[in-house]
Amino acid sequence: MILAITERYGLSEKGTEKYYIDKEFKDIFEKLNVLLFPVSSLTNLEEVVDICDGLIVIGSAIDINPKNYGEQPIKEIHKMTEEIDTLDFAMIKKFNDVNKPILGICRGIQAINVFFGGSLYQDIPNHKLLRNERHNVKFEKDSFLYDCYKTEQMQINSLHHQAIKTVAKGFKVVAKSEDGIVEGIENKNIIAVQWHPEYMNDMKFFEYFVNKISNKDH
């Protein structure tokens, strides 16, 4: 199996620009015998879609431009925002057009929601951004998350200051935190979560996603 995965923009310790994916993804999918196909540009995107069995849209510290959901930004837009938004939206469209599975994580859930017409809270006051801190989330039955974990609630991490405000039409909210933040949505071939299962080394989550794709192929 081959999964496309969005690379992210950042700066090295020396200040040079780079595109990357976190090592956690490499380690997890190596264990699952899945080849990741990192994508950082629109070049030959049609061929990427043909080659890959699905798409993972990962997190990023760079926010989505609020103009994409009809709002003015409340803070300065990062110089790479437009490029990253364009890539995310193009990949979501291409993979969705051919009904291939899409997994969104953190910024990924936000990009998916905005692409399909939803909106975001630009900033959640006093929201913590800690990799190792956990909070409770509740799952809806008859959902990918409930089927995966066989429970109605669990502890997840929190590394975001934005979240879904208006849910895109056609999407079902399948997870919420105790303070009402939307933590998971799904629609047909798309599942997306606000937290970072890769930082939790959550093999069950990614294995279930991979198995769903494999079962669909057969």
- pLDDT mean across residues, the chain: 92
SS3 of residue 173 by DSSP: strand
Percent of the chain with pLDDT over 70: 95
CA 139 – CA 129 distance, rounded (Å): 22
Domains and CATH numbers, the chain: 2-217 (3.40.50.880)
The tens place of each residue's pLDDT in the chain, 218 residues long, gives 999 999 999 988 888 999 999 999 999 999 999 999 999 999 999 999 999 999 999 999 899 999 999 999 999 999 999 999 999 999 999 999 999 999 999 999 999 999 999 999 998 876 665 556 788 999 999 999 999 999 999 999 887 888 999 999 999 999 999 889 999 999 999 999 999 999 999 999 999 999 988 876 54
Helix (H) or strand (E) holding 213: helix 203-217
Return the pLDDT at 217.
53
- In contact, 137 and 177? CB cutoff 8 Å: yes
Residues annotated as part of the active site: 106, 196, 198
Global confidence as pTM:
0.94
SS3 of residue 27 by DSSP: helix
Closest CA to 109 of 14, 200, 26, 175: 175
- At 176, give phi and psi (nearest 5°): -140, 145
DSSP bridge pairs for 2: 35
Angle between helices 81-97 and 107-115 (to 10 degrees): 70
Return the pLDDT at 218.
40
Return the pLDDT at 98.
96
- In contact, 66 and 76? CB cutoff 8 Å: no
- 């934005």: which residue's tokens? 162
SS3 of residue 195 by DSSP: coil
Return the pLDDT at 199.
93
Return the pLDDT at 11.
87
